[in-house]
Structure formats: structure tokens, C-alpha cells
Structure 1
Amino acid sequence: MVLSAALSVLRLSACMAGLSARLCPVAPRRRRAFYLADRPSHRGGHETSRAYGVFVLTAPAFAVNAAFGQNGFLTGALLYLGVRLADRRPILAGVCLGTLTIKPRLGLLIPLFLLLRGHWTVIVSAICTSIALVGLSALIFGIDMWRGYFEHVMPFQRIVAEEGTGVFLRMMPTGFALGRLQGWDASYAMALQAPFSLLALGLTVWTFRKPSAAPEMEQALLLVCVFLFSPYAFNYDMMALVPALFLVLESEIRASRSGPTRLNLMLIALFLLPVITFFLPLGPAILAGSALVLAQRISACRTEEPAPASVSGTN
């Protein structure tokens, strides 16, 4: 029953995304409507925005956040916008990523991405934002707040992560959680996580050491790698993937690849992953498979469209 409902939700979302693509078939890629990062200025932009709204509201990650009262809406938006706006609005992107320090595990690969693409303005903006937030919080609440965080909160978080059981572990689509679900000690579970983290690290370096050839695909790959890399990723944080999946799905439909291709099947799996992880420990496999398929498509795009000689992301 749950699977049937999830598939129905996905069909509705995919239909809306497909409808939006057909309503504005002549829009240039860089002007594709996405109201969080792209202002819909072409005919059909409002329809695309509505389609995106439906896509978000029907996303399993949305339901998980609503059900558990989590902050994935905020952190997901900060992560996605920080990546999406790095080229066009570097200062704003840096503010988003600097604010994301409220949940450091989501930003472990972001500095590498910024360095590889030469987004120096984003880096400076993020550092300044982080320092400002730390200073402001210390000014308002006192330095003892930070001392208490390091002395009490961080050890407690580590205990919960390493010894927690039950539904807590089923909300983590990671190799570490997979090991813990099998009853393994935290050290062995972390060893199981290692190859997934190395894969995410390698794909990030491979993707962003070269000039951009398929921005939507690359952004989606980076976000997938963020969850693949961290041993403590949670399904409610996967709201960050929703807009990236929407843009990739739309580009696939525009390219007349709306059938059951490997990429589309992986998009379906990623879309449903926040719910799948409650029932089946397939998170690491789905994330790793999706990352590899996205990397393959990026490689194909680079072959089809030769990249410019210089990196365009330097700020």
C-alpha cells in the first residue's frame, strides 16, 4: 500500500514536470524557470513554477520533514542555493553556505567543490558569514554557550550516532547506518562507510576539476555525493535534492529521454529514497548508483559538447 501510494505520488510529480517542459519548449537552458534560483521570465514560467511547487509538495522528503518536525526545509534550501548560485550570485551563495554551518555534516564536500571551481568570492563570503554568526551568538548568549556545546552537546551527539537504535538508523541512507542495522560495532560500521565516502570524494574531484559541461547534472551529482560522503546523513535533509532532481528530470524530458533510461530510473529511486530507507536499507546502493549514472551522463555531455578552455566559475 505504501509503495503504491509512493508510485502514485511520483507519477503525479513526473507528469507535472513533463507538462512544464512541454509548455515552454523553446526556453534556453540557462533561463529555465525555477523560482528559487531562476526568475521565470519566459512564457510558461508560471506553469513551471506551479509544477515545481507540486513536485516539492509531493516529494517524500517533504512528508518526512513534516511528520518529524525537522529543519530539512531550511538546511536543504541553504545547501541547494549555495551550490546553485555559486556562479551567478557568489556573495549570496556564500551567505547560504556560511549559514549552513548550523549543520556541518551537510557541507563536508562543499569546500572542495568551491576550491576546484575557483569560487573564491563564495569562500570569503561563507567564512565571513560563519564568523559573524558565531560572534553574534556569543555576543547575545555568552561564550559559555559555545563551551557547553563542545563539552556536552558534541559528546552526546556522538553517543547517539554510535549507539542509537530503532527508527533513528532507518532514517540514515548511509553505509554507516547499514552496518549499525546489522548489529555491527560503530568502528566496523564506519569501515563499511569508507568506500562510499571515497567514491563520493573521487567523483567530486573528477567532476569539478574540469570546466562545466552540464550544470544541472553536476549540481545534482554534488548533492548526491554530499549524502553519499557523510556517515551521518538523514533522509529529511534530502530536501536539497528535490529541486536538483526537478531540473534534471525536466532536461531529460526536453531531450526526449522520458522513457525508462538508467538515469530516469535512478531519479525515481532518489525521489523515493526518503521513504524507501524506512523499509529497506538500500540508501548507500541507490546513492552510489545514482552518482555513477550521473557521472556517466556528465561524461557523455562533455563528449557531445566540448567544454571551453577556461573555468567559468572563477570569481
Structure 2
Amino acid sequence: MYLLSRGAGASDGDSSALDWLTARRLVFCSYAAFISYVGFVATWAWVTHGFTGTDAGRPGLDFSIFWTASHLMRHESPALVYDHQAFVKATVTLFGGFANEYGMPWLYPPAFLVGIAPLSLLPFPISYIAFVSGSVVLFVVAALSVSRLGRSVQDPRLAALFVAALPCVFVTAIIGQNSLLTAALAASAVRWLAAKPVLAGICIGLLAIKPQMAIVFPFVLIAAQAWRTFAAAALSGLAFTTLGALTCGARSFHAFLVNASVMRSATLEHGQHFWMSSPSPFSALRSAGIPVTLSYVVHGMIAIVAIAAACQVWRRSSDMRLRASMLAASTLIVNPYVWHYELAWLGIALACVTACGINGRWYLGEQGILVAGWLLPVYEHFNRVAKLPQIGPAVVLLTMLVILRRVRMVAGVKL
């Protein structure tokens, strides 16, 4: 098997012993991860008697919300999706006592509601498997396309194995969230920015299904002077939003904002369970006992620095791997409402930086930071129970520093 022996040193004169991220270790860790995933799900099924208990959850928790929304969309009215009581009642009817324990309101804009309308055409288990499988495939394809990891390791199958085995993929899959799709859209936008700017803009416009994840794109597009992509993103985003309004009714936007406001207060500002599993600076500050207002101020300052860093990378470098990784990491820092499953975006950064290191050289400390980022989704997923310190922002910020250093070393400029 091809060994990742290129780029061994951390810097000129460094020992090749620092290059411990080899192909053999990638394969071993990837297979070990898959085995652990199977063992985890099997143990989970055994403990919950086939996922029939409500005290330990079951796979597809968030997807059950999507499926319920689709059911109401097709059989009742879109307005009922945004009615919290009606929505929870429908979830209880469809999923039994499990929904009593985990009832949540619908927090997505009408554009996403239109997109998931067909989900309930299939029974829940089949729909869930199809949704997750499709999301994983799109994520792997997009990550490999923008990172060119397959070319770096000279083995596309090894590269696909590595990306598919990332813990961020598994965590998102067992929850049944859409972050693999949004991360794939972001990676595809960066991939097609130069060759097909309009297509890149449409990919960004599709993030209207989760608009907070597109928060950094306008800044970096302006920094890169990607005006055609900027225009295409704005027009397509407006078109998708308009489609949602026409399908669900104008009142759906008001209901969406009302639900978002309620959850902002209950979850973002005062939800300890959220802080423990959210890798945002705001959550780290709140979990440390910092008041809400001061937490917003400090988070805002960090967000400004993150946006400035992202714009600097997009101005200084045309390497789409560095652009994509910085975009992904900075989005996680800038957005205060980030659940642990959004770390699928960090998976794009991990693939890109790994490709850079393998194809060129590793710099001191990079591989350790990548391992921390690789493990972070698992840490965040279980931290609501463990209640350990919130280290997510530190890991993501360190990843940003890795990218900034790479841009400085490659471009030969001081950032």
C-alpha cells in the first residue's frame, strides 16, 4: 500500500519522525472507527431493546422531525408545521412516546420545508436510510472534489474511506441531520468558484435551507472579488426563499421567526445542554458563567477576527483547499447557534488540510490538531452527559491558525 511519506518534516531540517500520519495509520484508524460505530449502534440497540425505550433515544432523532414536517406538509397544512403544539402532537401520533420525551418545534425556514416535503412518501426507516446514505455520498464526493485528497494519496478508495469514516459523518448520520448536505454545498461552491461561478453561486443560494451557515460567504466572495458568484448566490437564494413563501405562505416566515426567537432564549442563551455540545465561543463563554450580554460582545469580537482571517486567506491564496478549510472553520466560529453535528463542516477542513500535508509537507503541531478535530464531534456528542469543559472553540480556532500558517508559508507573505 502506498505510504504517505511525502512532506515528512515539520520544517526544513526537521526529523521525518514527526510525520506519523501515514497511509497505514489512516487505514487502521478508519477501519477501527467503522468497527467502533457498529459496536456502538449494536450496544445501543441492545440496551434500548431494539430502540423501543425512550430514555436513551434512538437513531434518526432529528430526522423524525423532518419526516413529521413532510407528513404535515403533504396531508395537512404547512402552517401546522410552525405551530409548536400541533407539531408535537403530530410527532407523538406518528412516533409514540418517543416524541413526548424529545418534542421540539420546527426551526427551519420555509425553503427547507419545501425541500423535505417528499420524505414522507417512504416509510420512516427507509426514508431515514435513504436520506443518510445520500447525504454521506454527497459529502464524500464534495470533500474529495475540493480537497483532491484522492490525488494526494494516489488512492481514491483510501481517500473515500478516510472521509466516510470521519466521526463527524457518523455523529450526523445517527442523528439524521442535514449538516452533511450543507457542508457538501459549501465545499461544492468553493470547488466550482473559478470554473463555474454561476453554479457555485447556486450552491451557496441553496444554503437558504439553513441560512446561518452561509454567514461568511458574502465576506469571502467580496474579498475574492467573485462578483458573478456573489450575484448568482443572491439571486438563487432569493428564488429559493420566494419559492418557500409561495408554497408555505407568507405567514410561515413570521412563524419561523417566532419559533427561532423562543429557541434563542431557551436554548442558545439559557440551555446548558446546548452549551455542552456546541463548539461556539458563545457557548463556551456561557458555560463558564459569563453573562449573556458580555458573551454576545466577546463572541462578536471573535467573529470579526474570524471573518477578517477568512477574507485574508481568500485574498492571499487561490488554493481551493485552503479557501474551503478556512471558510468551514470560520463559519463554525462566527455562528453562535452551532450544534455538534455542524462539525461536518470541520470535516471539510480536515480533508483539505490532510491533503495539503500529504501532498507537500507537515508543519509542526498540525497533525495533533487534526487528530483533535477528528475526535471533537465524539467529545461534543457525549459532553451533554459528561459535562466536561467546552473545548470546541479552541480546537476550531487552532485549525484556523494551521490554515493561516500554511497560507503564509506558501505565499511567502506575512498575514
The aligned amino acid for 2:185 is L
Contact 2:146-2:324 at 8 Å conserved across structures: no
Please tell me whether residue 267 in structure 1 is matched to residue 379 in structure 2: no
Contact 2:324-2:352 at 8 Å conserved across structures: no
Residue equivalent to 2:186: 79
CA distance in 2, matches of 1:13, 1:157: 45
Which stretch shifts more, 153-162 or 83-92? Answer: 153-162
Residue equivalent to 1:187: 293
Please tell me whether residue 297 in structure 1 is matched to residue 406 in structure 2: yes
When residues 197 and 252 of structure 1 are mapped into structure 2, their CA distance, relative to the original with a 3 A threshold, is same
When residues 288 and 176 of structure 1 are mapped into structure 2, their CA distance, relative to the original with a 3 A threshold, is same
Contact 1:65-1:73 at 8 Å conserved across structures: yes
Which residue of the other structure, out of 22, 26, 33, is the alignment partner of 1:15? 26
3-state SS of 2:305 partner: helix
Residue equivalent to 2:351: 246
CA distance in 1, matches of 2:22, 2:298: 34
Q: Which has the larger radius of gyration?
A: 2
Which residue of the other structure, out of 196, 201, 220, is the alignment partner of 2:307? 201
Greater RCO (CA < 8 Å, at least 6 residues apart): 1
CA distance in 2, matches of 1:206, 1:82: 18
Residue equivalent to 2:223: 116
Give, in angstroms, the shift of residue 80 of structure 1: 1.9
When residues 241 and 49 of structure 1 are mapped into structure 2, their CA distance, relative to the original with a 3 A threshold, is farther
The within-5 A match list for 1:272-283 is 272-277=375-380, 278=383, 279-283=388-392
Which stretch shifts more, 289-298 or 159-168? Answer: 159-168
Residue equivalent to 2:338: 233
Contact 1:75-1:100 at 8 Å conserved across structures: yes
CA distance in 2, matches of 1:11, 1:280: 31
Give, in angstroms, the shift of residue 154 of structure 1: 2.6
3-state SS of 1:204 partner: helix
**TM-score normalised by length of structure 2:** 0.59
Give, in angstroms, the shift of residue 18 of structure 1: 11
Contact 2:145-2:191 at 8 Å conserved across structures: no
3-state SS of 1:209 partner: helix
Which stretch shifts more, 154-163 or 197-206? Answer: 154-163
CA distance in 2, matches of 1:303, 1:156: 48
CA distance in 2, matches of 1:172, 1:228: 10
3-state SS of 2:316 partner: coil
CA distance in 2, matches of 1:211, 1:248: 14
3-state SS of 2:412 partner: helix
When residues 18 and 113 of structure 1 are mapped into structure 2, their CA distance, relative to the original with a 3 A threshold, is farther
The aligned amino acid for 1:236 is Y
Contact 2:353-2:403 at 8 Å conserved across structures: no
Structure 2, unaligned runs of 5 or more:
1-20, 31-139
The aligned amino acid for 2:370 is L
Give, in angstroms, the shift of residue 111 of structure 1: 0.3
Residue equivalent to 1:28: none
Give, in angstroms, the shift of residue 12 of structure 1: 8.3
When residues 244 and 163 of structure 1 are mapped into structure 2, their CA distance, relative to the original with a 3 A threshold, is closer
Task: Report Cα offsets for 1:169-192 as digits up to 9, x if no partner.
Answer: 222111110122123332122233
Please tell me whether residue 100 in structure 1 is matched to residue 207 in structure 2: yes
CA distance in 2, matches of 1:223, 1:199: 15
Task: Report Cα offsets for 1:52-109 as digits up to 9, x if no partner.
Answer: 3322332121122123222111111112222232122212211111111222221111
Give, in angstroms, the shift of residue 297 of structure 1: 1.5
CA distance in 2, matches of 1:235, 1:40: 22
When residues 117 and 44 of structure 1 are mapped into structure 2, their CA distance, relative to the original with a 3 A threshold, is closer
Please report the RMSD computed on the Cα atoms of aligned residues, expressed in angstroms: 3.2
**TM-score normalised by length of structure 1:** 0.77
Task: Report Cα offsets for 1:121-142 as digits up to 9, x if no partner.
Answer: 2112111211211221222222
The aligned amino acid for 2:406 is R
Give, in angstroms, the shift of residue 114 of structure 1: 0.5
When residues 238 and 14 of structure 1 are mapped into structure 2, their CA distance, relative to the original with a 3 A threshold, is farther
Residue equivalent to 1:131: 238
Give, in angstroms, the shift of residue 44 of structure 1: 7.5
Contact 2:212-2:335 at 8 Å conserved across structures: yes
Contact 1:221-1:294 at 8 Å conserved across structures: yes
Please tell me whether residue 285 in structure 1 is matched to residue 296 in structure 2: no
When residues 252 and 47 of structure 1 are mapped into structure 2, their CA distance, relative to the original with a 3 A threshold, is closer
Contact 2:316-2:407 at 8 Å conserved across structures: no
Please tell me whether residue 176 in structure 1 is matched to residue 285 in structure 2: no
Residue equivalent to 2:255: 148
Structure 1, unaligned runs of 5 or more:
1-9, 20-33, 305-315
Contact 2:146-2:191 at 8 Å conserved across structures: no
* Aligned residues between the structures: 276
CA distance in 2, matches of 1:219, 1:40: 8
Contact 1:99-1:130 at 8 Å conserved across structures: yes
Contact 1:17-1:55 at 8 Å conserved across structures: no
The aligned amino acid for 2:396 is L
Contact 2:350-2:370 at 8 Å conserved across structures: yes
The aligned amino acid for 1:254 is N
The aligned amino acid for 2:369 is M
CA distance in 2, matches of 1:265, 1:216: 19
